[in-house]
Chain A
């Protein structure tokens, strides 16, 4: 099933055409009748603004443009990783995809259904197809409920019957014991709690799991166990992940496609092996260069001194006109064109798109950060 869906979409098809070149008819022409061809998730021109509390009586309240037009398509079996720093809009995007908030503009379509056009009852029923795993395994489980009830909660919301067996199956799938259903969250370690959260997400047999930083609160050795589990579940239950992470190695490990988010827009997208080997956006390169490598010789600060300053006061969200590239203020390669004209996301190679006027020049440079042969594996 997943293979066929991907066949229809050859490499690169998941990348939207440049915004200017796209028109609505192209979108509506997409076949929606046969389930085989319906993408798992389609996000179109998603915009989300938050209105902040008014600071001055006579001025309009400030507005944060968390998402400024994000489009992508996910097919079953092709997990997508979203990377970016805080404030880039990653978690806002997750909330729109989960239909926890209404977007300011744009559409989120899951298996052909526009989530924001559904009635509350329809939405509740549709939720069986998409579930979420949160970052904090301590805050996301109700301490006063037994694990069995926590895991069964998505079923209860749908009025499902055979809850007990489903809970046992779900706990078993994440490597916990059926008897753990009788225990309380505080009896479990951080890694085990994240397994409980994953069991809760799995219980409705979802097609899509949105995971927002699922391992970043865990210790390194436990993180590896949970990443391996997520990988197993991908194969065993044919779930597809929309994985949000600031850690590009985690995304590379689990995802078949990566989108780099900056200031509410996708600035680069492609398969991880292509994107990380020949990053075409200076921001992606800055992200990769910033990951401290365990092999870099000490005191190589001369090189990192070129890393663009990030908290230098040029807050990217304060670009009211935003006619230029949002990254221009931090970009080591900025030219006059960058502040005058916003680069659109465009294909730079098969299955690889970037929003930079000089993407071809940037991707021709040698790769940054850890490359595959750099680190010795430990058996």
Chain B
């Protein structure tokens, strides 16, 4: 029995132009102690998935499918019950540490708050535990900083405090949505290592949301590539990196500028742009930008196709691509659009 089981999760959001399918049948499972990454570009549904797991979707969102966390169905759970799970069993770390912290309260008080709320610790005991946690997230001179306010800390230090808050009650699952995007690159490495070490030491499961392939390579065991509200490729991180299967995943890799590439190298681009959720085609969401797309791609959403054991891609053209079929040019009108 997996810790978290997401099955055919669908989320529809109302927009001025009508309902938009933000998630179109997302399914995955997360075992205890496992680390999984959701990767994709803006609008692909990765943050929407994280919000759905945390019960933080906008009120107007309509959902279907199932999200089972340790035998509790999270979809449709009332706010009080969800609130009891959040913070205690599910910890959360967001992108921008300054907005996650209350600027008026000391960091000691903020880290202690979930302990008093969920575990009923006394003020003194919670404060002592907060200090232990801040030490654990390697906040320098934590004892002196217990009474500091968030603005007195640097961005990296604030993110350490947010991580301490998320870990306070010893959650089984940590959801981190772009936890290092707002940080400098040298600090990013430290925070990722910290998250990785803590997840390993505590046997927590980690769901990491990021747009950065390098961040994923460093942190997670398994990778889910999202595009247009569905998971287009899934597999062990090393296997996905070794055998890029889905044309979109290939495009993502090719588009990265690489250090040491010869002068004047052109970057491979993905033609067109990420479609608006409301404009998603009925078939494969990537078909309009794909050099291998055929009529069948546009007819129905492609099923997951096995690339190798445990590694699947939602693409019906995998064999042709693997056989070396060259991509055909994608409509120039679309290519102009970005």
Contact = CB atoms under 8 A, between A and B. Distances in A.
A78 B44 CA distance: 38
A15 B213 CA distance: 35
A123 interface: no
A256 B274 CA distance: 32
Interface stretch (B11-19, B79-87, B182-190, B277-285): B182-190
B268 A224 contact: yes
Contacts of B328: none
Contact of B189 (A190, A249, A304): A304
Q: How large is the interface on B (under 10, 10 to 19, 20 to 34, 35 or more residues)?
A: 35 or more
Contacts of B188: 290, 292
A309 interface: yes
Interface in A265-318: 273, 276-277, 286-299, 301, 304-305, 307-313, 315
B193 A301 contact: yes
A71 to B, nearest CB: 25
B217 A294 contact: yes
A203 interface: no
Most buried by B among A221, A287, A290: A221
B254 A292 contact: no
A372 B258 contact: yes
A220 B237 CA distance: 19
Contacts of A253: 257, 261, 265, 267
Contacts of A109: none
A299 B156 contact: no
A222 interface: yes
17 contacts: A86-B184, A219-B274, A221-B255, A221-B269, A221-B273, A222-B273, A224-B257, A225-B338, A227-B257, A286-B186, A287-B185, A292-B215, A298-B217, A298-B218, A307-B189, A309-B190, A370-B258
Contacts of B338: 189, 191-192, 221-222, 225
A26 B270 CA distance: 50
A82 B256 CA distance: 19
A252 interface: yes
A43 B152 CA distance: 34
Contacts of A276: 259-260
Interface string A97-134: 00000000000000000000000000000000000000
Interface stretch (B65-73, B245-253, B293-301, B311-319): B245-253
Given A191-B273, A246-B184, A310-B184, A296 B218 contact: yes
A223 B251 CA distance: 12
Contact of A252 (B193, B211, B214, B259): B259
A292 B189 contact: yes
Contacts of A248: 259
Interface of A: 85-86, 175, 177, 189-192, 219-225, 227-228, 231, 246-250, 252-253, 256, 273, 276-277, 286-299, 301, 304-305, 307-313, 315, 369-372, 375-379
Contacts of B302: none
Contact of A378 (B187, B211, B237, B250): B250
A372 B264 CA distance: 14
B217 A228 contact: no
B270 A221 contact: yes
A135 to B, nearest CB: 13
Contacts of A286: 186
A352 B75 CA distance: 59
Nearest to A220: B255
A371 B260 contact: yes
Interface string B207-241: 00001111101110100000000000000011001
B334 to A, nearest CB: 12
Contacts of A369: 259
Given A304-B189, A372-B258, 12 more contacts: A86-B155, A189-B337, A219-B42, A220-B255, A221-B251, A228-B267, A248-B259, A292-B188, A296-B217, A308-B186, A311-B160, A378-B268
Contacts of A289: 189
Nearest to B274: A219
Among B188, B218, B250, which residue has the most Cβ atoms of chain A within 10 A?
B218
Contacts of A250: 257
B261 A372 contact: yes
B252 A220 contact: yes
A220 B41 CA distance: 7
Contact of A372 (B196, B215, B254, B260): B260
Closest CB pairs A-B (n = 3): A292-B214, A372-B260, A311-B156
A250 B215 CA distance: 17
B192 A249 contact: no
B157 interface: yes
A294 B214 contact: yes
B122 interface: no
A290 B185 contact: yes
B143 interface: no
Contacts of A309: 140, 190
Given A294-B253, A311-B140, A228 B269 contact: yes
Contact of A249 (B41, B141, B259, B263): B259
B193 A312 contact: no
B256 A220 contact: yes
B336 interface: yes
B154 interface: yes
Nearest to A227: B267
Contacts of B41: 219-222
A370 B24 CA distance: 36
Given A375-B258, A378-B253, A310 B186 contact: yes
Contacts of A370: 258-260
A291 B264 contact: no
A295 B241 contact: yes
B146 interface: no
Contact of A291 (B214, B244, B268, B274): B214
